Amino acid sequence: MRILHILDHSIPLHSGYTFRTLSILREQRKLGWQTFHLTTPKHVGCELAEESVDGWHFYRTPAPASTAVSLPGLGEMALMRQVEKRLLEVVDLVKPDILHGHSPVLNAVPALRVGKRLGLPVVYEVRAFWEDAAVDHGTTSEGSLRYRLTRRLETHALKRADHVFTICEGLRSDIVARGLPAAKVTVIPNAVDIDSFAVGGAADAGLKERLGLAGATVIGFIGSFYAYEGLDLLIEALPRILVQRPEVRLLLVGGGPQEGALKEQAAALGLADKVVFSGRVAHAEVPRYYDIVDVLAYPRHSMRLTELVTPLKPLEAMAQGRLLVASDVGGHRELIRHAETGMLFKAGDAAALAGAVLQLLAQSDRWPELRAAGRRFVEQERNWRQSVANYQAPFARLVPSRF
């Protein structure tokens, strides 16, 4: 079977989106399927029509001739027209059996148009809703006209697709509530490639010393600094932790839109010497930073995005046998079993976050049990082979000649 994926962006850019994509592609190929890959103009940093990266070949889409538009929505319409035009060209080259559009809806609409025109089945995979991501980015507010129109477009695409895939039960419930038959929506859960994650090694004393963390107990976050990640709550909770554990330091690895605000917050609270911002690090170096963290923290704020969507980071942490605390938003509750694979605390509550960290630090006798349970969970329930197998039944129904 020949599958043409329509993607927002891809490697060499590094994000949860691109890592999930690669895992799906690897496992689909193990099933004997041929995969082809088209990215939209939102993939930045490449002006080529085609590009090969780490053995994967991508067809690229150039940006529309003019992106300077005065009315809301015109830029998105121009982008979708450009993707549709490029998609027709690529379909002619690779002759797919099925079009597999991935979030956002700006990718699904061109796929649906081309599929209808050429008589090809189209599946749409929802990783998050565009309107909810826009709320977190501050470009709209929940319930605004733009939000409602975007939600309507999303629902329209979901109903027109031949089958819908999504990443978790939270999103599946929301999609079914929009009027889709439950049998039309299949979950392809976020997972990990077990072979890519070894249980964490010993801390690099030299790295700890270079970061000013020698002798410290390290609470850490490794990822992108978006508002919904709740890193402001983590900094707010730190003084409460320091009262009982003065040797604790907070390590924030990465960067993003909230970096400046977080540094200002740490300084305003008198914590500039207690919070270490490492900056972004090379992907190959990330395991060394994981190894110097004693407890990983995922303090996501409660909003539609975090209540509905499951992240990859906690799964990756469990695959490495890490200790973790996380807010009790819906996306985390799907992944983390409280006091068994990690510790959950009330979202938005700095005191509860501090309490969860202090409780975990005080229970060192349970650490081996927690680490083993987390690793066992991803090995048995959250591996990509099992996850990607869920594509087979819907694809067999849509393209029976290939099965």
Secondary structure (H, E, C), the chain = CEEEEEECCCCCCCCHHHHHHHHHHHHHHHCCCEEEEEECCCCCCCCCCEEEECCEEEECCCCCCCCCCCCCCHHHHHHHHHHHHHHHHHHHHHCCCEEEEECCHHHHHHHHHHHHHHCCCEEEEECCCHHHHHHHHCCCCCCCHHHHHHHHHHHHHHHHCCEEEECCHHHHHHHHHCCCCHHHEEECCCCECHHHCCCCCCCCHHHHHHCCCCCCEEEEEEEECCHHHCHHHHHHHHHHHHHHCCCEEEEEEEECCCHHHHHHHHHHCCCCCCEEEEECCCHHHHHHHHHCCCEEEECCCCCHHHHHCCCCHHHHHHHCCCCEEEECCHHHHCCCCECCCEEEECCCCHHHHHHHHHHHHHCHHHHHHHHHHHHHHHHHHCEHHHHHHHHHHHHHHHCHHHC
What is the per-residue pLDDT for 347? 98
pLDDT in tens, 119-152: 999 999 999 887 776 666 666 677 777 778 888 9
What is the per-residue pLDDT for 40? 96
What is the per-residue pLDDT for 116? 97
What is the per-residue pLDDT for 133? 67
Note the pTM of the prediction, 2 decimals: 0.83
What is the per-residue pLDDT for 46? 85
What is the per-residue pLDDT for 14? 83
What is the per-residue pLDDT for 363? 95
What is the per-residue pLDDT for 35? 98
pLDDT beneath 50, residues of the chain = none
What is the per-residue pLDDT for 378? 94
What is the per-residue pLDDT for 72? 59
What is the per-residue pLDDT for 134? 67
What is the per-residue pLDDT for 283? 80
What is the per-residue pLDDT for 150? 84
Q: Say what the alpha-carbon torsion angle 382, 387, 388, 393 is, to the nearest 10 degrees.
A: 170
What is the per-residue pLDDT for 139? 67
pLDDT in tens, 294-353: 999 999 999 988 999 999 899 999 999 999 999 999 999 999 999 999 999 999 999 999
